[in-house]
A and B are shown apart, each in its own frame.
Chain A
């Protein structure tokens, strides 16, 4: 069961990458062909492995943060207006990464990663904190953040992947990189628009 779900998520990852490389938007009415081609490539055998098995070997199971982003991208790739990650979603991922990664990679004696195991004394607090944040976000309209936390909690509760640690369902480095890129891209676009508007305004004034 773990293997099935894990390979499915790597299929999602690889299909998204291939559709981006194939520039599926340019295929217009032939877009189903691009999807079929990508679906075929991900199960191509290379040496003794399928491409999705390579991906699983290299990157292990993806977190729900990555899966939510990939699914959003894959299902909206053809829409004229691509939905962006909500800022709260990106910020929460980066905040979680700051709390988790430095200490779990060896900074100090405290290991926050261990809290994600059910036998840890603070585990209940972590689960309850995630649940409270998730429910609050759902009612506050932060649907992407709520969806991520809810799916992570459900997947962990059902033990969908190999890990028994809640953190592995919440976060992975790809989600953190994507979150950072998304924030930088949104910020740079804002700055660009501000400058463009300013220039336009000055041109109008001069006129």
Chain B
């Protein structure tokens, strides 16, 4: 009798395990929330420049920002003695819209705090990405590394219900089968109709590709959608046009073509087309796209052509009227006139959309300062 019972223990346990696994919460196919584009009401073009960071740290990089309901802006970046050093922290600063100035930055997260939150060793932190969730909270996704270089990164998530004044402890997101390494973030997320978040992520170890990691607001990973194969296409930036239609542009880390890559979806990001090559030069540098008035797509990028020694000596703005198929470069935020003799680095652009319809560009200026340029739709339209 006991032998017979023993024989059935594992099968019975397996049936219980399968029932429990099958009862996990399911989420519907994704549908995008498209950003609201306000009509052009300002006749006067606005274009103002600020420094979002101070020289509190020797190095700053990878800015992110969101607009707050009271009109202020919240920006974050990472800074320290050098990139990847253990003293690197994530800094935050607030732009007071009434006084038109940035407050002194303060460190909000370092590797020790992350380590305490996650109960594990953490070597360094980086690449913060802020997300304004339509239900109110702010979400911060950032990269942490425990094993080796950036290619072994993992991503974590924090939520704030008071517009960034306090943050709930970090949650570690498991997104890869290979000791959970090599998921990174850089660009803005997409939001789905059911309130879930599509983190635009990328993978750098062995294959270099882009993907969307879909998570709930409480940090549960619920699905992943591959955007490109492991072929030198990272840091996706997504422009959504309807509930199901979106275009992604990706940084080209290869040495052959060196152009921005483009891929489309018509099923809410579930599947993406094989990528194609755009006209925009890309010497493996970060890009950022956003949509504006009349369905136009805009892109902030480094427009150094193939063969140029210093690929980040310019920071340009391009516009497209056909969802990113054809582009026209219309403005340079930064341009070194003699690029062959002087190296500068204008990198990692990010554009936040204000509730008043203004746009706010942030980028790393020579790894010293986070620059902030505010412009409105009238200024953009004037460039077309």
Give residues in A with beta carbon < 8 Å to B.
3, 6-7, 48-49, 53-54, 56-61, 100-101, 104-111, 113-114, 116-120, 124, 127-128, 130-131, 134-135, 138-139, 143, 146-147, 149-159, 161-168, 171-173
Contact = CB atoms under 8 A, between A and B. Distances in A.
Contact of A118 (B24, B115, B179): B24
A111 to B, nearest CB: 5
A177 to B, nearest CB: 12
Nearest to A134: B14
Given A53-B120, A58-B121, A110 B226 contact: yes
11 contacts: A48-B112, A57-B123, A59-B179, A60-B179, A106-B207, A114-B226, A118-B26, A131-B14, A153-B18, A164-B222, A172-B179
Contacts of A119: 26-27, 214, 222-223
Contact of A117 (B10, B17, B123, B221): B221
A107 B178 contact: no
Interface residues of B, number: 56
Given A57-B120, A127-B21, A173-B179, A108 B14 contact: no
A106 B229 contact: yes
A110 B274 CA distance: 12
Contacts of B162: none
Contacts of B19: 157
B146 interface: yes
A118 B178 CA distance: 19
B179 A108 contact: no
Nearest to B182: A105
A60 B121 CA distance: 10
A119 B17 CA distance: 17
Interface of B: 7, 10-11, 13-27, 112, 115, 119-123, 146-147, 154, 172, 174, 176-180, 203, 205-209, 211, 214, 220-226, 228-231, 272, 274
A132 B174 CA distance: 27
Please classify the interface of chain A as helix (H, G, I), strand (E, B), loop, or mixed, using the class held by over half of its residues: helix
Given A114-B226, A157-B16, A124 B180 contact: no
A53 to B, nearest CB: 5
Contacts of B230: 105-107
B205 A105 contact: yes
Contacts of A111: 211, 224, 226
A159 B24 CA distance: 9
B222 A130 contact: no
A101 B177 contact: yes
In this complex, the member of A104, A124, A143, A159 whose beta carbon has the largest number of chain B beta carbons within 10 angstroms is: A104
Given A49-B121, A104-B176, A138-B11, A157 B20 contact: yes
A101 B178 contact: yes
Contact of B221 (A110, A151, A152, A164): A164
A131 B15 contact: yes
Nearest to B220: A164
Name the residue among B17, B112, B147, B207 with the largest chain A CB count within 10 angstroms: B17
Contacts of A7: 119
B179 A154 contact: no
The interface centre, meaning the residue of B13, B27, B231 with most chain A CB atoms within 10 A of its CB, is: B13
B7 A113 contact: no
Contacts of B228: 109
Contact of A150 (B10, B203, B211): B10
Contacts of A139: 7, 11
A165 B10 contact: no
B228 to A, nearest CB: 8
Contacts of A109: 226, 228-229, 272, 274
Which of B20, B120, B209, B223 gathers most chain A CB within 10 Å? B120
Contacts of A113: 176-177, 224
A94 B260 CA distance: 38
Contacts of B226: 109-111, 114
A134 B222 contact: no
A125 B203 CA distance: 27
A168 B179 CA distance: 8
A108 B229 contact: yes
Contact of A56 (B16, B21, B119, B209): B119
Contacts of B209: 106
Nearest to A170: B177
Contacts of A114: 223-226
Given A56-B121, A130-B18, A147 B10 contact: yes
Contact of A162 (B172, B225, B231, B274): B172
Contact of B223 (A48, A117, A150, A153): A117
A124 B221 CA distance: 17
A156 B22 CA distance: 10
Contacts of A120: 223
A161 to B, nearest CB: 8
A106 B226 CA distance: 9
